[in-house]
Amino acid sequence: MVRIRMKSMGRRHRPFFRICAMDARSPRDGRSIEELGHYDPMSRNPETQTVLNADRIRYWLSVGAQPSDKVAAILRRHKVVKPAPGEPWAQPKPVVTPEPAAEAAPQASAS
């Protein structure tokens, strides 16, 4: 069975974790199948504290991977949920429409 769990990468008194898809029988810091993000509990900036690849996490959840309790709490906090049956696991990218550039005044040529 595949588990989505945290792999300890930090040093003493400075924890840092990678969120990985791993075989349930592998050791905590063993070989992972795929790295899906990271979690830095010591970071003061909430945007950089948790970085997740939501599309890949949704893929692993759709094929039956089970998140650990701590990873499930992180996924709930970031609103990453298992896709419904028949729903694509890749979330659509938001379409960014370019804003019209301000009309620049024509430059006078220096002759």
- Show the domain range for 16: 2-77
Q: How confident is the model at residue 87 (pLDDT cuts 50, 70, 90)?
A: confident
Q: What is the distance between the alpha carbons of residues 26 and 78, in angstroms, rounded to a whole number? A: 27
Could you tell me if residue 99 is inside a domain? no
Are 19 and 3 in contact by the 8 Å Cβ rule? The answer is no
CATH number at residue 64: 3.30.1320.10
pLDDT computed for residue 105 by the predictor: 58
Q: What is the distance between the alpha carbons of residues 77 and 108, in angstroms, rounded to a whole number? A: 56
**Residue 33, token pair as written in the block:** 């199948």
Q: What is the distance between the alpha carbons of residues 105 and 92, in angstroms, rounded to a whole number? A: 39
Could you tell me if residue 82 is inside a domain? no
pLDDT computed for residue 71 by the predictor: 93
pLDDT computed for residue 90 by the predictor: 77
pLDDT computed for residue 89 by the predictor: 76
Q: What is the chain's mean pLDDT, rounded?
A: 86
Give the bridge partners for 2, in sequence order: 23
Are 7 and 18 in contact by the 8 Å Cβ rule? The answer is yes
Could you tell me if residue 92 is inside a domain? no
- Tell me the per-residue pLDDT of 6-48, one tens digit each, with 9 for 90 and over: 999 989 999 999 999 999 999 988 899 999 999 999 999 988 8
pLDDT computed for residue 99 by the predictor: 72
Q: Give the count of domains, the chain.
A: 1
Are 22 and 45 in contact by the 8 Å Cβ rule? The answer is no
- Tell me the per-residue pLDDT of 50-59, one tens digit each, with 9 for 90 and over: 999 999 999 9
